[in-house]
Structure 1
Amino acid sequence: MASGTTGGTRRRLIWTFGPSGCAISLDEQAWRLKVDDGFVEIEQKPLEILLVLLQRAGEAVTKAELLDAVWPDVTVVDSSLPTAIAKLRRALGRHADLVETVPRIGYRLTSPTPVTREAVPDRAQLGFKPDMPVPGAAGWRLVRRLSRGETDDVWLAAKGDARRVFKFAETPGRLRQLKRENAIARLLAQAPKTDAFVLPQARALDRLPAWLAFADAGSDLTQWLSAHPDAPLEQRLAIVASAARAVASAHRLGVLHMDVKPSNLLIGDDAQVRVIDFGCGALTTVAPDLTGLTQTSLTLAQGASSGGGTPLYLAPEIIAGQTPTSASDIYALGLILFQLVIGDLHRPLAPGWEAQIDDALLRDDIAQAAAFDPQSRLASADLLAERLEALPERRIAQAQGVAADEAAARLRQAVERARIRRPWIALSAVVLVAGLAMTSFAAWQAMRQRDEARRQSANAQAISDFLADDLLARGDPALSGMASETLLQATQRAQPDIAIRFRTAPHVAAQLYHTLARVYEQQSQWAAARDAYDQADAAYGRAGEGRGKSATINRLQHAFMEALSYQADSLDRARKLLADETAQLPPPDRMDPETQVWLSSARGMLSLADGDPKTALAQFGAAATGADALPNLFNARLRNDFHQRHAFTYVRLGDGKSAEAEIRPLLAAQMQLLGPKNPDVLILRLNLGQAYLFQQRYTDAVRELTSVLPELRAQLGPDHRLVQLALGARGQALGMMGRYAESVRDERALVDIALKSQGLHSYRALTALSDLSTSECRAPDLNRGIADGQTAYEGARATFGEQEPLTQAIGAAWAQCLIDARRDDQAFGLLQGLSIKAIGDLNGNPNWGAERDLMLAEIAVHRKNWRLADETLTQIEPVFSAKDADRFEAALFQSLNRQVAANTR
């Protein structure tokens, strides 16, 4: 047995030890220490250490063994064990030397007399009898003992016509539990609607027996079901929904119940369900307003023991000793839902339980609430309540969804027929079918009104008809008149038909515009995507849904696209879209979870475009975590996409190792899900090459990027944004290897594509031109390098402004070319006023300040200012002497050092 904190089932003992004639005793049951015929006040951890030492009296117990026994699965500071030993010795007083330190090993208990032990005798619970007065509660008399508590005496008491339930505690251990429940009750009292809980109305915690007094709030669920065995299913479901609302209210305050079971759910005469007994409860966060409470009064969830709670209702992760979360309470609610549906509160959720539930929707609700994996459970108890409350509408939507499924099948058939006539059909099918799938899912989730369910089903059919007849039918040259029509051409030709075909159905038009905006965005057709997002927003407004969730997500995705495109004025548009939308959204604790995911995604992309990858990493992480918690709304492919952005942000931070660690499992998952040639898989392979680049594994980077480039061209077209990224990354890797001619070849191809597809005043064209300039100057081809560098710098200054990190980074790269050509004064002017942090963040290079100083040292050498050059080179030597230093810069550093040394002897 490890310690007294575990939930073991062995009989508790009283241990006796110490000098002859002066017995010291430890009562495991009451957790009380008696020294010299008097009880000693001492915290529980020192007592647990004493118990371990008693179990191995006379032996040396290592520090590691004590830490593992008393603080299992918890990382504690180095001083925790010595501090607890010191408290134990103080409590032992003149017998402190019984706890002996064993140097370099641990501690040992030395007792002059043998250590004895005896079982704790069974204790009657306080010996109360009906009609006895309640100690410390004037006028209240006991009526009858209730059977709700397993570790406390719980009695119904009366004072005239008033009724209260008293929970008593006779031992210090039980008193701690009452204090915890009282402390949590103070926190629950802050809930907007406190009638969901039964909170103490009075208390006496400074005496033994201690007690808490509660209102008599009705029968518990077990008693209620016994009295109403034929209660209709709707009434039973309403009970679970009401209980889930109450538990969700506690969760929002950071409180876990940790013992949700039928006997802790009371049903009053008003049919209100109330949750009782937070004695096993824990906090997910520290409550700063609960001052003056002892450490044993409250338990943080990460340190909570699995020993509390009722075994049948404990979630699997709690039984396994893992940290409890809100999902643990949701598991118990899912089990209670199952039991109430079948009418048996003793039935476990054993394998094959699904056969006992005829209703497919309820079967799904139970499965998602009581899933074995906590990550697969419903995201909140509120969501379980919403599903149960909307069950009638969901059943109608389920029936209506058949039409949507048939429409989706018809669309897929049209895709297959068109696939052999247009190569782009196979590539875009997933995007287009996803547009219908969103509508079909909306029909399925139409939980509020029957008319809405029917309307969504009709929308799905209308969208299917448009995609199949107006867009995909253009795969037939006889209809389109264009034998080589591309996806972009077909989409652009079909888009005007939306306004005509759906002029009386703006909601359908909005969804179609929204879907087409996503298609354009994937094709990097920024202007077309912007127009489609705007048209979707306008159509949502005409439909009276301008502030609805779909319209909100449309605007957030629009903001994401603007930040991603990084064109002239696009960042300003992204900032305004995001600021305007954020001002209209509710606080995070009341925001729709799906909306929160898209908000975090948009914030992440804007932060990345703004040169703040640390914030981007946090936002993309929040989006990925939020999507993982909503598997019904975000499928596996989309969830992996959110994680891909998080992984890529490590690349932007220059942390190639972390990027690779996150990319590899994502790549395996997406490849298994989508196949080796899917664009999502190719993106991850591109990111893997970039991760190699930032680990200075240039050969691996060139190999991976060379392998993926033909696939990107074949799947997405030769000019696609991702093809450009791959060319740029390979060109950079080749340059790092000193293969400048090959680097110039890749970067020149990239510049040509970017200028043709996006024009000079675009992020891609300007960065590509700057990288090309650097490679040309290193080749060396100084004349072309300086000319291209100047064009890139002037274009960035005109497009983004002189103070933008991108403009400064391009100016710094051009300055190096100018220095190589001995145009030092012009270069020195460019280097003045640069933001080292901003450029370093943008480049993912924490040592960029040293690169700037290297350029200044070269100027000093040209000007024969040997002292300044020597001082500067000395300061930056660690960077350019490192094994992973850029070979061109390392060679330049060594050359400058030799020149300085030759002139300072």
Structure 2
Amino acid sequence: MSMREGSPWASVRCRSVAATRRHCPHAAFKKPSRPRDRGRRCRSGRSGKPGYHRPMANPSGPTDASLFRWRFGAVEFDESRHELRIAGLPVDMEHKPLQVLAVLLRHVGEVVTKEELFEAVWAGRVTVDHVLATAVGKLRKALDAAGENRIATVPRVGYRLDGPVERVAQGQRLDRAMSFEAGQPVPGRDHFLLERPLGRTLGSEVWLARQPRSRDARVFKFSLGGERLSAIKREATLMRVLRDTLGERDDFVRVLDWNFETEPYFLECEFGGVSLPDWVANHDVLAGWDTAQRLGFFLQVATAVDAAHGVGVLHKDIKPANVLVRQRQPGGWQACLTDFGNSRLLQPERLAELGITGMGLTVTHAGSDSSGTPLYLAPEVVAGQPPTVRSDLYALGILLYQVLIGDLRRPMAPGWERDIADPLLVDDITRATDGDPSRRLGSVAELIQRLSQLEQRRDEAERSAQAARDAELSRQSLERTRARRPWIAATIGVLSIGLLASSALWYRSELQRRDAALQAARAEAVARFLSDDLIGTLSPGGSGFERDPTVREMLEQAGKPLTGRFGDDPATRGSIHAALGDAWRTLGDRERAATHLRAAIEDYTRAFGADDELTLKARYGLVRTLAYAGSADGFAEARSLLDEADRLAGARLAEDGEIALHAAIARGQYHFQRLEIEPSLEAHRRADPLQRRLHPDEAPMAALIRSSIADAMLRLGRTEEAEQLLRTLLSDPLLAPERIGESTVAGYRIMLARALRSLGRYDEALPLAEAAASTSERILGPDNYTTLVQMSVIASIHDYAGDCAKALPIARTVRERMAKRYGENRQATLIETGNLGFKEYDCGDRETGLAWLGKAESGLRRHFGEDNVAAHSFRYALARALTEQRRYAEALAMVDGLNVAALTAGDATPGWELRLRALRGRILVLAGDADTGRPLLAEAVPALEALGTEEPSDIAALQQLLAAPD
């Protein structure tokens, strides 16, 4: 199946028959906007060459080292604090781009050569060629957002910032570098004396200080000239976030005070211990620890990182030097996470909730952030992507490897696996440090769980190995009989994975309720089920088949022995029913899927209760399955199940957990299949962040949710947004064909084709749609629902482009195959019937077109209720068509049955009540009842014109009718 798992009305035209496509979500013609030309001509320079100025004697600025606050437009840059603001809001940007801006501002209107910028900003250090272009690009991105695209490129020479600008003196830069010595008082904290330096970087120093009498220790982080001021401000803010949300913890360094007003700026912290590298060098403790003790120590660090992630704080610079170690009382060692100067708050709005001033934090992030220590930087961050929870996880994985081998300096070079004896730990490190972030573990919490359950996993691995050995014996038995088609093995493998995954899901739910012996017995029962009841049926003398079975026959065979094999174990039986239900739904057999899911609900209810998480997930899965079926009875049962599941879920719907996620998907799909687009979009928007947080690697789930959001945008006329989202999805590695299947990606392409069709870009839309339909036909078959819907889109593109000769045969084929495969009275068939009616009418056969439209409208109302959205869209189109054919009495009868709410549900464009009033007035005037019709037109037409939603030609025709003499 495609990603939609059934998406009706993929190409239905909503209202008019011939010329009026503007209110149909799939047909909004909008001229694509052209990108603004940001190029600037360079003024003539002093050298006589256009655009070139002589090199400056001092590219870094005046020798008096004056500091200024610069302002132009909505942009303000404070050199003393090294802070860029736009419209009063701080912009998050690395130090180097701001240094480039400072140089350009000091020579506004002049060309600054690349060599001068390298010398001024990078101080002659060796760098890669693109660092300057990257820094300028980040500046431009920030300035463009403020409408101040002032940085001009002078080809092969350098850059120029155009004026005018204002500047206000802020003071003087200190005429010396920071010079601290042991024994001197801390500036501004005279009662503490500097004892020894702990670290030094460009623009900052870290010192240990003590109170001479009490010997209380403090750590002071100093910054001069604003270069590191934003970092220590950020650290102060984030440590407050951690303290106010998590309370006082021993695994974070406490920030006690700060000075951000006068130089030298500093942050005052408690003494959290010695750095991990120094601790390892000066103590023999780590060398004497076994693997369990090393894991216990590492888990202290991981737990701190996970706690920070839990309140939305990314560390971004996890490394041994940022882990402190101190003695615990009465014994043992405490790891402590420090240095949040490069960190990031994922939800800045939480600061207001906590009453915290966002020092050093910004609401605008200009570009990617590749700050951090290279050895521990995730590959995607090095490549320029923004850091995420998984980039912190990557650094933790490196640290885990180093702690386990006892060498904090060794990089993870090829062959590192030989250093780790335990294959499970090798797997854990591999999954934490995979170069592809989408293949890493989903969170630090998942790594902690895996490491904490190492012994249980060893036992489980041994059981799995035994099951694999048993399966291998069965495979060898099959090979000795006769060769089978290779996809049979793949079928068994896929089903086995589904069953084992379902059992694992159940296992997590039951872990707290049952003892280990019962778990082992159930695992053995599942293994026997796979080996004997599935693989065994293919062996000589097996009861299942004496021929090559199809996938469907395999699933049928899998469902037969459940009662006998698991008669006294409803929990395991329910998990297998749930897996089979998902499999049948994927194959498009909704009836069998529903049967298995009903059985899963019954078994789960017996085992765990009606409100258990597994039971509710099965209920929500059944809601989706019934909605996809598209029958009136299915919709009614789905609605009842949805309401009951929500009642049982209760407060969990408002939480950010599994129940809320599955409920949102079920509700979104139910409304979508009912063509209730606004509530469907709302539900899927609720599901999207939950999926990204709870199951970031669950590609099929991500595909379903995100495609539903894009489809809803298309149907609501938000075509440009939909196009952008679809192009993003097609480039997302999580949603690559090898992860979600070619047919699912084809579904994305068909939606992009619909967007391009609605924008009038038919030459781009047609090849996309044809390629998508060809892929679906090859994989799913020519009569599959997805294939037919995509063929319908191809027909609609030809229709919109005015090519009836190509549109009509395809539309007739789609309608014929849909009726034959799914029945005359299914919603999808009736919609394609109406679509064919549009095309027959447009292409000249008015009577045939009206007949098909009438059949679609009446069939949808009869089988799916008077409020069916598609029925009302076709009815409105019928009313207009009958008016064109001067069949005024029939047209009025159609208008009488229209419902504003149903029309709005299918098309959220405002003004439906006015539109119906105008249509009624038009019909009455044309029918000779001007006295009744003109007041309706007089009331509706000016209001519609003010809304701006109608075609000017339609407004002109109504005005002409209003002004015509009797």
TM-score range, shorter chain: 0.7 to 0.9
Of 103, 106, 117, 1:52 maps to: 103
In the TM superposition, what are the counterparts of 1:686-765 in structure 2 within 5 Å?
694=758, 720-722=784-786, 724-726=788-790, 728-729=792-793, 732=796, 737-739=803-805, 742=809, 745-746=812-813, 748-750=815-817, 752-753=819-820, 757=822, 760=825, 762-765=826-829
Gap change, CA 1:292 and 1:189, over 3 Å in 2: closer
Residue of structure 1 in register with 2:220 after alignment: 167
Conserved? CA contact 2:566–2:573, under 8 Å: yes
Aligned partners of 2:833, 2:166: CA distance in 1, in Å?
Answer: 75
Work out which structure has the larger RCO, using CA pairs closer than 8 Å and 6 or more positions apart in sequence. 2
Specify which of 586, 592, 595 is matched with residue 528 of structure 1: 592
User: Is residue 281 of structure 1 aligned with residue 340 of structure 2?
Assistant: no
- Give the unaligned 5+ runs of structure 2: 1-56, 71-77, 86-97, 118-131, 152-158
Root mean square deviation of aligned Cα: 5.8
Given that 2:439 and 2:697 are in contact with CA atoms closer than 8 Å, whether structure 1 keeps it comes out as no
State how far apart, in whole Å, the 2-side matches of 1:417 and 1:843 are.
62
Give the superposition deviation at 1:513. Answer: 0.9
| More divergent stretch after superposition (260-269 vs 659-668) | 659-668
Aligned residue type for 1:275: L
Query: Aligned equivalents of 2:797 and 2:641: distance in 1?
Result: 32
Structure 1: state its 5+ residue gaps.
Answer: 1-12, 32-38, 86-101, 111-116, 883-889
| Alpha-carbon distance between aligned partners in 1 of 2:923 and 2:256, rounded to the nearest angstrom | 80
8 Å contact kept, 1:730–1:746: no
Deviation at 1:338, TM superposition (A): 1.5
Residue 124 (structure 1) aligned with residue 195 (structure 2): no
Q: Matches of 2:956 and 2:299 in 1, distance apart?
A: 75
Kindly state the Cα deviation for residue 73 of structure 1 after the two structures are TM-superposed. Answer: 5.3
Cα offset for 1:423? 13
Whether the 8 Å contact between 1:644 and 1:666 is mirrored in structure 2 is no
Do the aligned partners of 1:282 and 1:304 also contact (CA within 8 Å) in 2? no
More displaced stretch, 167-176 vs 553-562 = 167-176
CA separation of 1:49 and 1:647: change in aligned 2, threshold 3 A:
closer
Counterpart among 369, 394, 399 of residue 331 in structure 1: 394
Q: CA deviation at 1:753?
A: 2.8
Q: Say if 1:329 and 1:580 are closer, same or farther in 2 by CA, change over 3 A.
A: same
Residue 275 of structure 1 deviates from its aligned partner by 1.6
2:606 to 533, 542, 546: 542
C-alpha distance in structure 1 between counterparts of 2:414 and 2:351, whole Å: 44
Q: Contact 2:918–2:937 at 8 Å: present in 1 too? A: no
The alpha carbon displacement at 1:773 in A equals: 4.9
1:435 aligns with 2:498: yes
| CA deviation string 1:522-580 (max 9, x = no partner) | 34443432232121122223333766654444333223223333332155146426634
Pick from 256, 262, 274 the counterpart of residue 320 of structure 2: 262
Q: By how many angstroms is 1:514 displaced?
A: 0.9
C-alpha distance 695-499 of structure 1, shift in aligned 2 (>3 A): farther
State the secondary structure of the residue aligned to 1:507.
Answer: helix
SS of match in other structure, 2:65: strand
Residues 86-125 of structure 1 aligned to structure 2 (within 5 Å): 105-106=162-163, 121=176, 123-125=178-180
What is the rounded CA distance, in whole Å, between the counterparts of 1:56 and 1:648 in structure 2? 51
What code does the residue aligned with 2:316 have?
M
Letter paired with 1:145: R
Question: In structure 2, what is the Cα distance between the partners aligned to 1:667 and 1:264?
Answer: 32
Task: String of CA shifts for 1:78-99, please: whole Å, max 9, x gaps.
Answer: 69698999xxxxxxxxxxxxxx
Pick aligned residue for 2:464 from 401, 423, 442: 401
Q: CA deviation at 1:458?
A: 2.3
Tell me the distance in 2 between the aligned counterparts of 1:698 and 1:107: 46
Output the CA distance in 2 between the equivalents of 1:536 and 1:495: 12
Aligned: 1:507 with 2:571: yes
**One-letter amino acid of the counterpart of residue 388, structure 2:** T
> Aligned partners of 1:15 and 1:80: how far apart in 2?
26
**Which residue, out of 872, 876, 884, partners 1:808?**
872
Supply the distance in 2 between the matched residues of 1:248 and 1:354 (Cα, whole angstroms): 25
Contact 2:626 2:637 in 1 (8 A): yes
Q: TM-score scaled to structure 1, two decimals?
A: 0.73
1:418, 1:650 → 2: CA distance?
Answer: 55
Which deviates more from structure 2 when the two are superposed, residues 837-846 or residues 306-315? 837-846
Contact in 1 for aligned 2:677/2:712 (Cα 8 Å) = yes
Offset of residue 596 of structure 1 = 6.8
**More displaced 10-residue stretch of structure 1: 70-79 or 623-632:** 623-632
What is the aligned counterpart of 2:407 among 335, 339, 344?
Answer: 344
Q: 3-state DSSP class of the match of 1:76?
A: helix
Bigger shift: residues 73-82 or 361-370: 73-82
Verify the 8 A CA contact 1:303 1:323 in the aligned structure 2.
no
The range that moved more, 712-721 or 345-354, is: 712-721
Give the structure 2 partner of residue 75 of structure 1: 141
Indicate the residue corresponding to 1:200 in structure 2: 255
Choose 893-902 or 575-584, whichever is displaced more. 893-902
Task: Give the corresponding residue for 1:181.
Answer: 235
491-500 or 391-400: bigger deviation: 491-500
Q: Distance in 2 between matches of 1:411 and 1:171?
A: 72
Asked if structure 2 preserves the Cα contact closer than 8 Å seen for 1:427 and 1:715, the reply is: no
Distance in 2 of aligned mates of 1:548 and 1:148 = 53
Does the CA contact (< 8 Å) of 2:112 and 2:160 recur in 1? no
- For residue 297 of structure 2, give the secondary structure of its aligned residue in structure 1: helix
Q: Which residue of 2 is the match for residue 517 of structure 1?
A: 581
Q: Distance in 2 between matches of 1:372 and 1:469?
A: 37
The whole-number CA distance in structure 1 between the counterparts of 2:541 and 2:747 is 31
Aligned to 1:147, the other structure's residue is in SS state strand
- Structure 1 pair 27/373, CA: closer, same or farther in 2 (3 Å)? farther
Residues in 2 aligned to 1:810 and 1:863: alpha-carbon distance in whole angstroms? 22
Q: Deviations over 1:141-189 (max 9, x none)?
A: 5484352565334224257667332315374535654433222222111
Provide, for residues 746-793 of structure 1, a one-character-per-residue CA deviation record: whole Å limited to 9, x for no partner.
365256336xx4673x42244244445555666777777666655544
**Given the alignment, which residue of 249, 253, 258 partners 2:307?**
249
Residue 336 of structure 2 aligns to a residue whose secondary structure is strand
What secondary structure, in the 3-state scheme, does the structure 2 residue paired with 1:346 have?
coil
State which of 269, 272, 275 in structure 2 corresponds to 1:220: 275
* Distance of 2:467 and 2:783 partners within structure 1: 36
Normalization by structure 2: what TM-score?
0.69
Question: Residue 509 of structure 1: CA displacement?
Answer: 0.9
Asked whether the equivalents of residues 774 and 785 of structure 1 are also in contact (C-alpha less than 8 Å), the reply is: yes
Contact preservation (8 Å) 2:753, 2:769? yes
1:813: how far off? 3.8
CA distance in 2, matches of 1:861, 1:411: 81
Conserved? CA contact 1:653–1:841, under 8 Å:
no
Kindly indicate whether the alpha-carbon contact (under 8 Å) linking 1:203 and 1:212 is maintained by their aligned counterparts in 2: yes
Q: Which whole-Å CA distance do the structure 1 matches of 2:804 and 2:900 have between them?
A: 26
> In 2 relative to 1, CA 244–105 (structure 1 residues): closer, same or farther, beyond 3 Å?
same
State how far apart, in whole Å, the 2-side matches of 1:309 and 1:507 are.
48
| Contact persistence 1:516–1:532 (CA under 8 A) | yes
Q: How does 1:524-603 map to 2 (within 5 A)?
A: 524-544=588-608, 550-568=614-632, 569-573=636-640, 575-576=642-643, 579-580=646-647, 583=650, 585=652, 589=656, 591=657, 598=662, 601-603=665-667
- Following the alignment from structure 1 to structure 2, what is the Cα–Cα distance between the partners of residues 641 and 149? 50
Tell me which of 511, 518, 527 is aligned to 1:461.
527
* Matched position secondary structure for 2:219: strand
Please give the secondary structure, in 2, of the residue aligned with 1:517.
Answer: helix
Within-5 A mapping of 1:866-881: none
Q: 1:147 aligns with which of 198, 210, 219?
A: 198
Q: Percent identity?
A: 24
Counterpart amino acid of 2:65? Answer: S
Residues 260 and 807 of structure 1, relative CA distance in 2, 3 Å threshold: same
For 1:190, what is the secondary structure of its paired residue?
Answer: helix
Among candidates 437, 447, 451, match of residue 388 of structure 1: 451
C-alpha distance in structure 1 between counterparts of 2:890 and 2:791, whole Å? 31
Q: Please tell me whether the aligned partners of residues 180 and 279 of structure 1 are also in contact (alpha carbons under 8 angstroms).
A: yes
CA distance in 1, matches of 2:192, 2:289: 35
> Which residue of the partner structure matches residue 190 of structure 1?
244
Q: Which residue of 2 aligns with 1:353?
A: 416
Q: Is the 8 A contact 2:211 2:217 kept in 1?
A: yes
Structure 2: which amino acid aligns with 1:828?
A: L
2:5 maps to none
Between Structure 1 and Structure 2, how many residues are aligned? 834
Alignment partner of 2:296: what SS? helix
Aligned to 2:27: none
